[in-house]
Structure 1
Amino acid sequence: MTTDLKKYNKWIVILSIAIPLVVTILFGVKIDAQLPVFLPPIYATINAFTSIILIIAVWAVKNKKTQLHKKLMKTAIVFSVLFLVLYIAYHMTSESTKFGGEGAIKISYFVILISHIILSIAVIPFVLITYIRAITNNIELHKKIAKFTFPLWLYVTISGVVVYLMISPYY
Structure 2
Amino acid sequence: MSGYEILNYLSLLTIGISGLSILAGLFFIKKGRRELHKKSMINASVFALIFVALYVIKNLLFPASKYEGPYRGLFLFVLWSHTALAIINFPLAVITLRYALKGTFDRHRKIAPITAGVWLYVAFTGWLIYFFMQWLNR
Query: Do Structure 1 and Structure 2 share a fold, with TM-score over 0.5?
Result: yes
Does 1:112 find its partner at 2:65? Answer: no
State how 1:1-171 maps to structure 2 within 5 Å.
Answer: 35=3, 38-102=6-70, 105-169=71-135, 170=137
**CA distance in 2 between partners of 1:36 and 1:48 (Å):** 18
Identity of aligned residues (%): 26
Runs of 5+ consecutive residues of structure 2 not aligned to the other structure: none
Residues 67 and 159 (structure 1), Cα distance of their counterparts in 2 relative to 1, 3 Å cut: same
**CA distance in 1 between partners of 2:107 and 2:12 (Å):** 31
Contact 1:45 1:161 in 2 (8 A): no
**CA distance in 2 between partners of 1:168 and 1:50 (Å):** 21
SS of the equivalent of 2:103 reads coil
User: TM-score, normalization: structure 2?
Assistant: 0.92
**CA distance in 2 between partners of 1:53 and 1:130 (Å):** 15
Contact 1:123 1:149 in 2 (8 A): yes
Residue 37 of structure 1 and its aligned partner are, at CA, apart by 5.7
- Alpha-carbon deviations, 1:32-69, whole Å to 9, x = none? xx848631122022112211111110010110111111
- List 4+ stretches of structure 1 deviating above 3 A: 34-37
Runs of 5+ consecutive residues of structure 1 not aligned to the other structure: 1-33
